[in-house]
Amino acid sequence: MLQPMDKAGGTSTPESQARETLLALCWPDGRKSCPRCGAPAPYQLAGGRLRCGGCRYTFHDFTGRWLNETGLSPLKWIALAHAFARERNTRETAAEIGISYNTAFKALTVLRLAILAQGADATQLLGPGAPLASFMEGGRDNGPALGSGLPVYGILTRAQHVFVDLLPELTAESVLHFNHNFHLRVARHGGILVTDRYKTYDALVLCGDEALPYHYLLRHPGGIFVESGACPFWDFARPRLKQFKGLSWRRFPLYMKELALRFNQRDEDLLPHLLTALCAPVPKFAS
């Protein structure tokens, strides 16, 4: 049987087909440009490399994009995205693809960062001094939170779609203050605090650390809004959050953004959204 030919004239393989799929998402109009200065029409070098005619930067087709943040091949990236879409955990994903647990963990973190980077609050979450800034700085830990300084997120539902947004004007201290002085109802689920309605938001949510004074929370008999079934997203998210190991305040927004995407696309194929996110450029933030 004759094998299909790739664009270079060679026999098409699953790996080359996967590469073509990702290339089409990275360069949908086929016109490549420099990831450093944006100049169009780079020229080809040996070994598949490209060089910008303006700034002379040498790069390749995936330079500066999320899928270039690990050593995975295009075929393994697509396999990992398939596993992620089916809600496989890290260990299951590693076994399916044939990679180590640590490599799978890193790649899944990159995928979650790529999802988060699509949001309107990406700069607030990933920029200098932001909750996830350490992920943009080579994974270095920027130190523990100080309990009350923990970030707070708002859950907002509009037309059956949910938005989980960082609320920089609020901290865990704000939530405790509202609980004590304005009787804002708060429920604790492990290290996660979820409130009743707040202004236009269905609920506020945050992930605490060991410094948060949970014992100061006022108890409210009869449950709170998010336990009443009136917030479908929290009903969807809560059991899934329990599956994540090592949940911390720093990784918390990665999982919340993932769950928001899953909820919003729950009746659609998630794979195209994941591959599009992976093929997007990694944002650059001014220091």
pLDDT at 5: 42
pLDDT at 1: 38
Q: What is the CA radius of gyration of the chain?
A: 22
Strand partners, 155: 164, 203
pLDDT at 48: 87
Of 31, 24, 126, 116, residue with least CA distance to 78: 24
Residue where the block lists tokens 């943009």: 136
Per-residue pLDDT of the chain (287 residues; tens, 9 = 90+): 334 445 555 568 999 999 999 999 999 998 999 999 999 999 999 988 999 999 999 999 999 999 999 999 999 999 999 999 999 999 999 999 999 999 999 999 999 999 999 999 999 999 988 888 888 776 555 555 656 689 999 999 988 899 999 999 999 999 999 998 998 999 888 899 999 899 999 999 999 888 888 888 877 655 555 555 667 898 899 999 988 877 899 999 999 999 999 999 999 999 999 999 999 999 987 66
| Burial class of residue 32 (count of CB atoms within 10 Å of its CB; 0-12, 13-18, 19+) | middle
The angle at the Cα of 237, spanning 235 to 238, to the nearest 5 degrees, equals 70
pLDDT at 230: 65
> Residue 18 has which token pair?
């996967």
Residue where the block lists tokens 């955990």: 89
Q: What is the dihedral of CA 233, 235, 237, 238, to 10 degrees?
A: 150
pLDDT at 55: 96
List the chain domain ranges.
14-64, 66-143+270-281, 146-249
> Residue 57 has which token pair?
């930067």
pLDDT at 61: 95
pLDDT at 54: 94
- Which helix (H) or strand (E) segment holds residue 241: the answer is helix 232-241
**pTM (predicted TM-score):** 0.89
Other C-beta atoms within 10 Å of 182: how many?
8
